[in-house]
């Protein structure tokens, strides 16, 4: 599809409810505290609420608050549907159609000159996005480094390794994995899966975000050890980028 390249990161999850919005917001907040120009985009959302005469995504609001972009919610998420289903299903219910070119254009429009754009997908990497494409196809067109967010619980090893394998098999640039503690790590699986992933992953385990109860300070502590600005550049969003 082509188009200009820009500095950015794309956040996906190993499943729904793993906290990719929380992690992406924390990264945005951290970059902003470092004095970077940062913007966010979640091009399509489902399960949006009706607020003040329009559909608003809770995820989009959280992302916007993290980077001070709260007056641009319609641009952050141009397609917001009320039904909590896959995007093409929701689009059909509303007699519209999502296309990959329109989604790519909406994301690129948000990229700040000289800054960084944080993009959040919907569902996991192979979640249907249009009638024929998935989130992975959007990542490929945008040519952004992928940050994979996983929950710290039983099943994380399988879900994370499968997601990484799919991403690499499609030639996507994977910046790494972030484990997010959506609940306290009480059982043995949760306590050991980070170390086991370090042994098995073909990509970096970037961070483990401690259980936070929606506390931004805890998330910042989890992501602050990573230089996210350099992580975006290292994965090739310049002229030397190759899949």
3-state secondary structure of 140: helix
- Written as six digits, the tokens of 149 are 């967010």
Closest CA to 19 of 227, 215, 158: 215
Answer yes or no: 42 catalytic. Answer: yes
Integer angstrom CA distances of residue 196 from 177, 191, 205: 13, 10, 11
Residues, the chain: 243
Closest CA to 165 of 174, 156, 178: 174
Catalytic residue among 20, 42, 109, 242: 42
Contact 174, 146 (CB under 8 A): yes
* 200 Cβ contact list (under 8 Å, min separation 6): 157, 161
Contact 136, 125 (CB under 8 A): yes
Phi, psi of 156 (to 5 degrees): -60, -40
Closest CA to 84 of 56, 45, 53, 58: 45
Residues known to be catalytic: 42
């Amino acid at each position: 599809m082509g188009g200009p390249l820009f500095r950015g990161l794309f956040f996906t999850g190993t499943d729904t409810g793993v906290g990719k919005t929380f992690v992406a917001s924390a990264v945005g907040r951290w970059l902003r505290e470092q004095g970077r120009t940062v913007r966010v985009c979640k091009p399509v959302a489902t399960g949006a609420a009706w607020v003040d005469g329009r559909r608003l995504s809770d995820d989009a609001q959280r992302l916007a608050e993290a980077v001070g972009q709260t007056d641009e919610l319609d641009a952050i998420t141009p397609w917001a549907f009320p039904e909590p289903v896959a995007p093409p299903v929701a689009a059909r219910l509303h007699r519209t159609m999502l296309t990959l070119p329109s989604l790519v254009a909406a994301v690129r429009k948000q990229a700040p000159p000289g800054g960084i754009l944080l993009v959040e997908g919907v569902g996991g990497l192979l979640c249907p996005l249009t009638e024929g494409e998935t989130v992975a196809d959007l990542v490929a067109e945008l040519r952004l480094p992928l940050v994979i967010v996983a929950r710290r619980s039983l099943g994380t090893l399988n879900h994370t390794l499968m997601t990484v394998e799919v991403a690499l098999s499609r030639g996507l640039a994977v910046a790494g994995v972030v484990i997010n503690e959506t609940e306290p790590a009480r059982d043995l699986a949760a306590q050991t899966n980070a170390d086991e992933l370090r042994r098995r992953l073909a990509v970096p385990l970037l961070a483990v975000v401690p259980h936070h109860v929606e506390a931004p300070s805890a998330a910042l502590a989890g992501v602050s050890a990573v230089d996210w600005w350099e992580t975006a550049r290292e994965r090739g969003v310049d002229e030397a980028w190759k899949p």
